[in-house]
Amino acid sequence: MELRAYIIRRLLLLPPVLFGVSLLVFGILQFFSPVERAALYVRDPKQFANIAEIIEKYGLNAPIWEQYINWIGQIFQGNLGWSKVVSMPVSEAIMYFLPATLELAIFATPIIILGGIFLGSKAAAHKDRFLDHATRVGAIMGWSLPTFWLGLMLLMVFYGYFSGLLPPERLSTEMNILVHTEAFTEYTGLHFLDAILNGNWQVLGDSLRHLVLPVITLTVVNIAFIMRLMRSSMLESLGKGYILTARAKGLDENTVVNKHARKNALIPVLTVSGYIFVAIVNGVVITETIFNYKGLGWWAWQSAVNLDIPSVLAFTLFTAVLFVLTNLVVDLLYTRIDPRVRLGGRVR
Amino acid sequence: MIKLRFWLCQLRKNPLATVVACLLISITLGLILGLDWGEGFDLWSIVSLVLFNAAFLFVLIKRKQLKFWFHQLRRNPLSLVGIAIILTFIIIAVFAPLIAPTPEGHFDPYQIPRDGYSPVPQPPSEEHTFGTTQGQYDIFYGVIWGTRSAFQVGLIVIGVVLIIGIVLGSLAGYFGGIIDEVIMRVTDIFLAFPTLILAMAIVVALGPSLNSVMIALAAVSWPVYTRLVRGDILAVREEDYVEAARGIGASHPRIIIKHILPNSIYPALIMASLDIGAIVLAAAALSFLGLGAPEGYADWGQMINFARNWIVGPPGDPFAYWYTVTIPGLFIFMFVMGWNLLGDAFRDILDPRLAKR
């Protein structure tokens, strides 16, 4: 019963937060003059000639609450404005760039989570021995690495020194042309998946080759974080009574670590899944900029540098809404996974 | 004399008062010495300022305490490395005018001098120790004065965020009720955004500049501190000594400042010291994206942005321009790592309970 109350309360919290998020984005929008804001509603660059009419038509000089209602209404209709960087409506641009970024995230997320968990539990099991110290130093260094620098250094070595072994961008020129021909059907927009569905191994190899460096750049810093978290959580769980019991039963060390300790140590790691989402979204902007990898992050960067307000704010709103929903899912999953929460213990 | 002793004793008990006292000393001394705060500081006045503050803190700290700190530090050799790194950077920042003198007739010391306008970087030479980057900006000068920019960004942002966090966190934690609810819901909203994305949007709204970057970073970092301080205050609010202070009729501000904060502020301070590196890293990232300092300003992130087009050298010599990206990157890396290690040291010193098991 208590669980259901918790879920209902958690769902009830969603609308106020989303409302607040929209208010904040609207607040940032208010930094701009009505003329600049009129650009939000311009779909065709030619319309800029009639900017005064547009201001009048959309009531950009109206009282602020009226403006907010107008603005939010436009957003609910899917009209997020015009992205001048790519010359298409913002909502279309998001859908256009999303697959490229998804492709990155699909490879990076499992590596971050599984790699971090694996290294962290190894470090905890070998506490105060060589492996523990090595991973600790590695984590501090990884944690301090500027991602953009790492990416450029990787490019310097694998693109420069090994002459084009692992190049930037999404696909090489020929493959890019091939992908957009009749012979190649784009089912999802994710190149590696499309290549598999089309049975075209050349495109598959090429897209994977282009993914290696961005994925490394995205993962290194975050693996360090998950690893340290997993290590301390694992150490805590190794000190618990049931571990002593398991050892006293005469179980071998591997079973104790892998079966008894790790499962319980995983719970705090789940709690920070929200963090992983943020890390990936933040990282994607920098990574895609370095590698000229045309995805959402690259688009956001281009929009920001060109002071393309509607695109930047739409991207901010989009990621924030996604983040809020991610957190909701994590919280609900939490109740399913941790039996102490499920059975009505400490929910908050 | 006895009166002085009493004041020192009071200061010892309250870290917040110590920080305020240090600030006051710096400001009065600065006024006496006639420091020109705007333009790159006069060298010797900074040195005397630092020395005076250090002497003041030394008098304040008990011998026993000092011994304990050294003991804690020796247990963790990595934190000693962190202290060494940050001390080196402090020396670089303070002595920047001596290490990389501003050329004659060059007005703004933070503007990197350029030797011509050719876009092609020049390798290290007698004249340019680390070579020049795109647009003939001197790399050596840039990284040395960039240290000052990095300290400025990191310390100012963290200072502002700490003040906001402590004030709002104490209000929310101590008074509770509707104040608490409002402040916490506002933090909820700020925390609903991916940090770098929100910072980027704010920078775009304010117009790209170093100040906008600092404002944006402060705007995205304060909620975490507010929550942290609030939580710690909730933990001590019901302690007996707070109840006792309330019983003898102490006012709310007095209870918060004298009784609650000194016992609950350390986690926020520890986090601040761990966060300086992250703040500098985020600022460098924004500069790298082209949203930070104006062109030619001594700033590490921007120098890496300059290097973007020169990662791969001409055919047959792929590492021809290695210095453009490697050197500024190493400075950022060492700076951030220094703060991360130092944060660990602070944690060991300020809160031995949290020290690594």
Map residue B111 onto helix, strand or coil: strand
| More confident position, B140 or B35 | B140
Mean pLDDT of B84-105: 85
Provide the pLDDT for residue B354.
52
| Band (A340; pLDDT cuts 50, 70, 90) | low
B316-325 pLDDT, tens digit each: 787 888 888 8
Provide the pLDDT for residue B227.
92
Provide the pLDDT for residue B356.
43
Provide the pLDDT for residue A298.
93
| Band (A108; pLDDT cuts 50, 70, 90) | very high
B357 contact residues in A (CB cutoff 8 A): 235
Mean pLDDT of A123-134: 85
Q: Kindly tell me if the per-residue pLDDT of B165 is higher than 90.
A: yes
Map residue B131 onto helix, strand or coil: coil
Provide the pLDDT for residue B46.
67
Q: Please indicate whether, in this complex, the C-beta atoms of B329 and A146 are within 8 angstroms of each other.
A: yes
Chosen for mutation from B76, B80, B193 (greatest number of chain A CBs closer than 10 Å) is B193
Angstroms from A337 CA to nearest CA on chain B:
24
Provide the pLDDT for residue B166.
92
Provide the pLDDT for residue B14.
66
Provide the pLDDT for residue B283.
94
| Band (A347; pLDDT cuts 50, 70, 90) | very low
| Band (B343; pLDDT cuts 50, 70, 90) | confident
Angle (deg, nearest 10), helices A273-291 and A90-125: 120
Q: Kindly tell me if the per-residue pLDDT of A202 is higher than 90.
A: no
| Band (A341; pLDDT cuts 50, 70, 90) | low
Q: Kindly tell me if the per-residue pLDDT of B355 is higher than 70.
A: no
Distance between CA A153 and CA A156 in Å, rounded? 5
Provide the pLDDT for residue A40.
62
**pTM of structure:** 0.86
Tokens 């950009």 correspond to what residue?
A: A60
- Say which residues have a Cβ less than 8 Å from residue A340's Cβ, sequence separation at least 6: A346
Distance between CA A218 and CA A117 in Å, rounded? 17
| Band (A346; pLDDT cuts 50, 70, 90) | very low
| Band (B226; pLDDT cuts 50, 70, 90) | very high
CA distances in angstroms from A213 to A150, A161, A209, listed in the order given: 10, 14, 8
Q: Please indicate whether, in this complex, the C-beta atoms of B200 and A20 are within 8 angstroms of each other.
A: no
The mean pLDDT value of chain A amounts to 84
- Could you tell me what percent of chain B has a pLDDT over 90? 28
| More confident position, B316 or A236 | A236
Contact B338, B85 (CB under 8 A): yes
CA-based angle A309:A312:A317, to the nearest 5? 120
Q: Please indicate whether, in this complex, the C-beta atoms of A160 and B194 are within 8 angstroms of each other.
A: no
Q: Please indicate whether, in this complex, the C-beta atoms of A282 and B206 are within 8 angstroms of each other.
A: no
Distance between CA B83 and CA B342 in Å, rounded? 6
Q: Kindly tell me if the per-residue pLDDT of B114 is higher than 80.
A: yes
B340 contact residues in A (CB cutoff 8 A): 140, 143-144
Angstroms from B252 CA to nearest CA on chain A:
29
Provide the pLDDT for residue A237.
86
- N-terminal to C-terminal alpha carbon distance within chain A: 15
A252-294 pLDDT, tens digit each: 888 888 888 888 888 888 878 778 888 888 899 999 999 999 8
Angstroms from B24 CA to nearest CA on chain A:
34
Mean pLDDT of B123-141: 86
User: How large is the ipTM?
Assistant: 0.88
Q: Which of residues 16-45 of B touch A (CB under 8 A)?
A: none
Alpha helices in A163-272 (DSSP H): 173-179, 191-198, 201-238, 241-248, 253-255, 262-271
Distance between CA A73 and CA A61 in Å, rounded? 17
Beta bridge partners of B138: B132
Provide the pLDDT for residue B32.
65
The mean pLDDT value of chain B amounts to 83
Find how far residue A163's CA is from the centre of its chain.
31
